[in-house]
Chain A
Amino acid sequence: MAIVELEKVSYAYGKSKAAQDEAISDISFKIEEGEYVGIIGHTGSGKSTLIKHLNCILKPTCGKIYIDGVDVWKNKATVAGNRQNVGLVFQYPEYQLFEETVEKDIAFGPKNLGLSADEVRFRVARAIEMVGLSSSLLGKNPFELSGGEKRRVAIAGILAMDPKILVLDEPTVGLDPAGKEKILNIIKYYNRDENRTVVHVTHSMEDIARYADKILIMNGGKILSFDSVEETFKRASMLRSVGLDVPKIYEVFLKLKDKGFDVPLNVYTIQRALEVVKNIVERKVKP
């Protein structure tokens, strides 16, 4: 059974019912448990609107949302349950920090879940470890931390709620490459090692090409394509037609192929490219 299922979901901001005012319209898709799905699209394509539905922040104007097999808008209890199942990391999550210590801030979510003090402490310790911060930071004031650290604390606050589905809205925006790398690794860890479902919204093809299993492309409030990474990049011209790009390294390999080199095309990351190139060089040297 799919862990996330959207059935003809539409949403219009304000009170308008007109089809042209819809931020997203007629969205249907399924995400299986343990999948890492990247959502990509232009500003205003409806990405953020879409993921706010996964967490019951927005109620669809029409259509149904099933999370973990439950119709989330059935009653108040299902809405509350949904907030436990789905952890949503907003854009610039560091702006939501408010407690006087890092520990208290991470504990805010688990406390709201009504967990025991021991369990909360355990969750906090685990979350701070997951985001790769030293536990000596727990007693510090979150406002003293650096931007990247603040963001990791904010993400820890969501991870401490132990959501089955982790949804992130542009988690790496505005960070330096090192900070970006750390965040991407946290997400990968949560997906691969904890075997949780991840939905990652981004502008950067490079970011999702690394770890995502599938890519959902939004354009003008509709789903343009929802397919595996490989299949998606095969249609590079479709991506370009909506102003999106394939990863730079993939483009290099496309051009190489065009020039008549015998190279594989499933290369989306620098590491993979390195392997492939090494392989080719070795083959050339050996015979």
Chain B
Amino acid sequence: MSVRLENVRKKIWKFSPLYFMMLPGLAYLLINNYLPMYGITIAFKDINFAKGIWGSDWNGMQNFKFLFSSSDAYLITRNTILYNAAFIVIGMTVGVGTAILLNEIKNKLAVKFYQSALLLPYLISMVLVSYLVYSLLSVNVGFMNKTILPALGIDPISWYNEPKYWPFILVFVNLWKGIGFSCVVFLAAIIGINKEYYEAAMLDGASKWQQIRKITIPLITPIVIMMMMLSIGRIFYSDFGLFYQVPMNSGALFSTTNVIDTYVFRALMQLGDIGMSAAAGLYQSVVGFILVILSNYAVRKFSKDNALF
């Protein structure tokens, strides 16, 4: 017993510099993320500022009711999940693909150019993106209606009144904005791969395609899985700007653009009830958390090394 204790003590002593290094980061997490979690209680309260946050009355699940009571509940849940699923699948595929292509290119100057160009959309805010989209799609002055469609002999389209185009537009805009980011992340992973693997593979006569399939992809799988899990955890959230500002809050498009975040925003715009918005946030977090635990469990079954925890 005492020997074991001695061992543990030794081990802790050995690792103490590492724990010490973690201190600032952990303190930060505590302050920025864990202390504010008491705010979760707000979701179960009828907030009255005269009584203060602590003194306000509890009201059970009352604040959550508006999320489920309306006929839109199904629509917004479906939209949120389907869009996010599409974003994850398409974003990951294109991101990995682009990173692999970039890695192939020998000309340093070209790499630099492509990378900068791809990252450009990532640099701007969604409000600006919404103006860009507007300059393309505006009924009266948009580039599509004024230049492209006439050239193709197609009648002008009233983009902001036609819900059927928006799934494509939103997926495209999201991809356009995010590709630079995911590409950079994956490229960093690819460059980190030991070159000896490729050299060995080439000696064995493996084609480029085989190298990509057998070396690159398996070796960047951990980072792909991590990115994926993070996205899954946020599957009930959506980029507010993308779904609100880019479609210009156009009512006619709601069937394909209303998601949980925009629904909550519109619902509470008039009421300004922080209890209800906290309830919506908590609901999104909990669902995301459960999904991540489940998918982590699945990954763990499949390959233990790739699991996150």
**Do chains A and B stick together as partners?**
no
